[in-house]
Amino acid sequence: MERLGSDAEWSLPASAYRDPVRFEAERKQIFETNWLLFSWSERMAKPGDFVAGTLAGHNIFAIRGDDGQVRAFHNVCRHRAAELVKGETGSCGKVIVCPYHSWSYKRDGRLNKAVNFGNDTQFDPDAWGLYALDCEEWRGLVFVRVRRGGPSLVEWLGPVVDLAAPFPLEKQHYFTKKERVVDVDWKTYGENYLECYHCRAMHPGLCSTLDIDRYAIDVHHEHKFFHLHAPGRSADDTQGFYLYRFPFLMLNLYDWGSSIATVEPLGPGRLKHINWYFFEDISPEKAEANQKSADWSAQIITEDLEVITTVQKNLNAGIYTQGALSKEQEYSVIAFDRMCEEALHDPQPAHRIAAE
């Protein structure tokens, strides 16, 4: 067996990236318990506007109420479990009406009417309201937490709040998105994002713009947060300013606009990569320049996804079992893996066992 010094660090075992039992534990103990990015606020501008989708494997929707507050609910009727709203976005009208037997719910989730149910049963509108999730807005972005209770969104974001403060997120508007489903585990993706050991080999476009020798990654272990940054090569070049909040919130903040990204884990070794682009000026005259910036950013992700799809294929195949991680170049990967293990409450993280 390969040997490393006793203080060496190892990657997680390959099985961690393909094991359905582990994935289910991650879903329960990591995805359901953290705030996850779900939408941007402009998509729900008016009361009754909703956005529907999947979060941590749950069918959910968020809706703006008459009081202006955005709330999130499981997309399931309390009567016999039909899906309530259809499509990615829309407006429910005055009330949310179930398509199955027409029970209706107010925009704040309380039961409005169990129509024609009969007079012998009375429903308490609060007790028969929709199953709620935690939901908060921050600077034009909507976050949802499946398992209710815990730190507020701002507390959870921690240092992100101050670091992102100089960037005018509220003034920026949605321009375009790019979504891709790939055979890559969410951890394989996170590990790739969190090191720049591969940048010279993999990202010629990024390296021609950023001063890659000065690329730095600050790890805030207690806040489960990473700050990755590099200056531009010249005064004309954009700087790189990337914030990653575990498990997978990515705020890529440039002087030209924002590339806001997250992943939706679809199963062990499979995810949807979701990337939204926001600019201050989205007038038709700026469309070409905006698209160019979005393409430049998307190209970096394409380069990453290409190589990590081959990584995942090999993790699945069974020959490779575990690799060595550089403390100099991959300390942030080591930190990320540790966050994963701690979240699963593993008393003896696998990578430490292998290093003995």
Q: Which residues bind Fe ion (CB under 5 A)?
A: 304
Q: Which of 82, 216, 307, 353 binds ligand FES (CB under 6 A)?
A: 82
Given ligand FES, Fe ion, none, residue 72, with its beta carbon under 5 to 8 Å by kind, binds none
Given Fe ion, ligand FES, none, residue 130, with its beta carbon under 5 to 8 Å by kind, binds none
**Closest distance of CB 39 from ligand FES, Å:** 24
Interface stretch with ligand FES, choices 26-34, 56-64, 72-80, 192-200 (CB under 6 A): 72-80
Determine the Cα–Cα distance for residues 213 and 194; give it in Å rounded to an integer: 16
**Closest distance of CB 250 from Fe ion, Å:** 12
Nearest to 159 by CA among 231, 230, 249: 249
For residue 117, state whether it binds ligand FES (rule: CB under 6 A).
no
> Counting every residue, how long is the chain?
356
Running DSSP on this structure, what letter comes out for residue 328? T
- Which tokens go with 33? 């318990």
**Closest distance of CB 127 from ligand FES, Å:** 16
**Closest distance of CB 100 from ligand FES, Å:** 4
Interface stretch with ligand FES, choices 47-55, 97-105, 117-125, 278-286 (CB under 6 A): 97-105
Given ligand FES, Fe ion, none, residue 304, with its beta carbon under 5 to 8 Å by kind, binds Fe ion
For residue 86, state whether it binds ligand FES (rule: CB under 6 A).
no
User: Which residues on adjacent β-strands are paired with residue 179?
Assistant: 274
- Residue number of the CB closest to Fe ion reads 304
Given ligand FES, Fe ion, none, residue 80, with its beta carbon under 5 to 8 Å by kind, binds ligand FES
Count the neighbouring beta carbons within 10 Å of the beta carbon of residue 7.
7
Nearer to Fe ion, 194 or 219 (CB): 194
Nearer to ligand FES, 115 or 154 (CB): 115
Determine the Cα–Cα distance for residues 240 and 258; give it in Å rounded to an integer: 11
* CA-angle at 107, arms to 101 and 112, nearest 5°: 45
- Which tokens go with 82? 């039909």
Question: Diameter of the chain by CA atoms?
Answer: 76
Nearer to ligand FES, 77 or 163 (CB): 77
**Closest distance of CB 336 from Fe ion, Å:** 14
Determine the Cα–Cα distance for residues 312 and 291; give it in Å rounded to an integer: 30
Nearer to ligand FES, 121 or 348 (CB): 121
Q: Which of 54, 66, 94, 100 binds ligand FES (CB under 6 A)?
A: 100
**Closest distance of CB 81 from ligand FES, Å:** 6
Interface stretch with ligand FES, choices 39-47, 99-107, 249-257, 275-283 (CB under 6 A): 99-107
Q: Which of 17, 35, 103, 167 binds ligand FES (CB under 6 A)?
A: 103
Residue 204's identity, in one-letter code, is P
Given Fe ion, ligand FES, none, residue 77, with its beta carbon under 5 to 8 Å by kind, binds ligand FES
Count the neighbouring beta carbons within 10 Å of the beta carbon of residue 15.
16
152 touches 243 (CB < 8 A): no
Given ligand FES, Fe ion, none, residue 110, with its beta carbon under 5 to 8 Å by kind, binds none
**Closest distance of CB 170 from Fe ion, Å:** 29
Q: Is the dihedral of CA 189, 194, 198, 200 positive or negative?
A: positive
Nearest to 187 by CA among 244, 242, 247: 247
Count the neighbouring beta carbons within 10 Å of the beta carbon of residue 18.
19
For residue 79, state whether it binds ligand FES (rule: CB under 6 A).
yes
Count the neighbouring beta carbons within 10 Å of the beta carbon of residue 124.
9
Determine the Cα–Cα distance for residues 261 and 277; give it in Å rounded to an integer: 9
Looking up tokens 């979504």 gives 179
188 touches 320 (CB < 8 A): no
Residues of this chain that bind ligand FES (CB under 6 A) = 77, 79-80, 82, 98, 100-103
